[in-house]
Amino acid sequence: MVNVGINLGFAALDDQLTDEQMYHGELDLAVLADRLGYDTVWIVEHHFSDYSLCPDNLLMLSHLAGRTSRIKLGTAAVIVPWNDPLRVAEKALMVDNISGGRLLLGLGRGLSRTEYEPFRVTLDETRDRFDEAAPMIFEAVETGVIEGAGPLYPQPRAELRPRPRESFIGRRFCVAGSPESVVMAAKLRAALMSFIVRPVPDLMPTFTKYRELYEAEWGETAPPISLAVNMYCHEDVEVARERQFEYVNRFFMSNIEHYEMARRQLRSHDTVGRPGTNPRPDRGNPRRPRRLRTEPVDLVRRHAVRAVPGQHRTVRPRGHAEGQQPERQASQRGRHDLTGGAHGLRRLGRRHHRCRQWRRAWAGTGVRSRGLPPLPAWLRTVLSGAECGDHRDGEDRHRDGQGQAHGG
């Protein structure tokens, strides 16, 4: 059994749309997904930039609880170090009660330095904050009582209202990629959420380790792993393939800019000296690369088409009608293509294809380009099915959408 959902990213990258228009477009997609039979709508949490305008995903889900009837409502994820655990638990219980038990509670740690700095939290303390607060939150939504004796979140015992309507076992999720996060996900009895940032074979040891840890901790089979996959769905195979390349590229580049991946992925490919020297210009190294630190952002600004992408397993509020330019179609409300969000350029990847780190990161996006690795076999299979979507009813329609797949 595979469950398929969409993830709303609330990106504000189209200059022709106001923030209000962007919000309405994304929320309307969630209502459409409910009607089309998708299993889950997931909502991110991000702050302070056009990359994503969703500072409170539980608030968004409470809105959708009143506009939808059956679709599950998931956080992907509540970033624990940016929130007070008591408030997270209270809001989660409220959303679960008003939605009739449809909440899937996903927790994460976050990675962006540009988001952490305004919260006055340093990246080196995020692990301790997550490891202390996440168990408090999951215990609170299970029992209706929250308390904590840790150094970061000392919490007097408090009874929460509303009370839990039912158990969250089976509805806990944890974003995890590092070995430490995988260990915590298993301890929390949470399903693992993972993004396809590297070739899938390279991710399998992490998945296997999680399953082993979970089964050893709880004496039961680990829940299915939730994978974030970007794809474009269209009745025409060639249209789907062409637009998937365009939008997934852009989405990949938006991640590079937001998470400052260029410093990590491209700094080792030294355009002045040999690969791997990793110069540090901020420490007076005279062998500073001439353009690598700013080139990805410059290329996006000069060449990327301004579209409204989503985040990870997302759909795009406006598609391209046949014969229309993206800029024109973006301003026309009411026409929807279920489109994988993206933001970037293949030419940058081609230019730096000799960098091993770049090749591995690019391969993880599922984007094919000259001189770069091909799609993984499993993703080719998924995309082949998605590109040929028809209009079947019921559960079969899930396979035609793009989104988050829960597979065992």
Cβ atoms 166, 148 nearer than 8 A: no
Report pLDDT digits (tens) over 155-207. 999 999 999 999 999 999 999 988 899 999 999 999 999 988 788 889 999 99
pLDDT attached to residue 82: 98
Mark out the alpha helices in 188-294 (DSSP H runs).
200-218, 237-258, 261-265
What's the mean pLDDT in 6-16?
87
Six-digit token string for 191: 């399903």
At 289, the pLDDT band (50, 70, 90 cuts) reads very low
Task: Give the helix/strand (H/E) hosting 92.
Answer: helix 85-98
The SS3 assignment for 158 reads strand
Q: What is the pTM of this model?
A: 0.68
Percent of residues, the chain, with pLDDT higher than 90 = 51
Q: How many CA atoms lie within 13 A of 341 on its CB side?
A: 29
The owner of tokens 């655990």 is: 85
Tell me which architecture the domain covering 3-228 has in CATH.
Alpha-Beta Barrel (3.20)
What's the mean pLDDT in 296-302?
38
pLDDT attached to residue 264: 55
Measured distance CA(71)–CA(41) in Å, rounded: 7
Which residues, 6+ apart, have CB-to-CB distance to 356 below 8 Å? none
Residue 175 is classified by DSSP as: E
Pairing of strands 155-159, 225-228: unpaired
Domain boundaries, the chain: 3-228
- Which of 66-75, 84-93, 338-347 is predicted least confidently? 338-347
Cβ atoms 376, 200 nearer than 8 A: yes
The owner of tokens 């829940």 is: 223
